[in-house]
Amino acid sequence: MRIDITPVEDLSPADRDELRALTIAVYSPDVIATLPATEVTWAPSQWAVRVRDDNDRLVSHVGMLTRDIAVDGVSTYIGGIGGVKTHPDARGRGYAAAAIRTAKSFFTAERGVAFILLVCLPPTVPYYERLGWQRYRGTLLVAQPGGTIPFTTNLPMVLPAHGEAPRDGTINLCGYPW
Ligand SMILES: CC(C)(COP(=O)(O)OP(=O)(O)OC[C@H]1O[C@@H](n2cnc3c(N)ncnc32)[C@H](O)[C@@H]1OP(=O)(O)O)[C@@H](O)C(=O)NCCC(=O)NCCS
């Protein structure tokens, strides 16, 4: 397994094609048909964590960003992950777990974030819980084209980094969700 973290702006057209092919493999039409139909405007990632297998094939991806958000009104610098996906042929080998751990190390050592936040669908909650993430049960406010709204499409989860991660209260992501 080989893992790199690359600024999204540095990805070449070939890198982007490779990531697009992974997305298409993960989100095939039959998988898309099982997902809730929602219209969400998402924030773009700033870094891509890419995992390759021993044959140099791209097998897993995690997108990362940092943001100053408001936690109960207090400005807080956090990390976010999204776009977690592993090729259907390569699942259950720890690739996504390794990518998520790499993201956490980078956020903690290189960016000094207070905590890390993601949003996911209910079936994936146990997966992240096994990796040490916890549900955030407060209100999550996000920007959408029409203004700031409570985000109820997916479930927020948090992982402590330099600080504790809040479990309740009000978090305003001060921008589009990820
Ligand atoms: C979720 C996903 C990223 C996991 O990728 P992966 O590389 O197979 O993950 P890992 O190898 O680190 O972990 C796999 C383990 O998690 C378990 N797991 C996977 N999805 C799970 C879920 N929804 N609930 C509980 N456990 C789950 C697997 O059974 C496996 O267990 P094992 O190690 O005991 O065999 C992958 O299944 C995927 O791409 N799914 C579709 C996209 C998606 O849902 N992404 C998450 C968006 S928030």
CA of 92 to the centre of ligand 1 (A): 7
For ligand 1, atom 39, name the residue with the nearest CA: 85
Which residue is associated with the tokens 């956090």?
Answer: 78
53 in Cβ contact with 92 (< 8 Å): no
Contact predicate 137/100, CB 8 Å: no
State the pLDDT confidence band at 67, using cuts at 50, 70 and 90: very high
Residue closest via CA to ligand 1's atom 29 equals: 92
Cα(91) to centroid(ligand 1), Å:
7
pLDDT digits over 100-131, tens only? 999 999 999 999 999 999 999 999 999 999 99
E strands along 8-146, which residues?
A: 47-52, 58-71, 74-86, 115-120, 134-135, 139-144
* 1-60 per-position pLDDT tens digit: 999 999 999 999 999 999 999 999 999 999 999 988 888 999 999 999 999 999 999 999
Which of 3, 24, 26, 86 for mutating ligand 1's site (highest number of atoms within 8 Å of CB)? 86
What domains lie within the chain, and their CATH numbers? 2-172 (3.40.630.30)
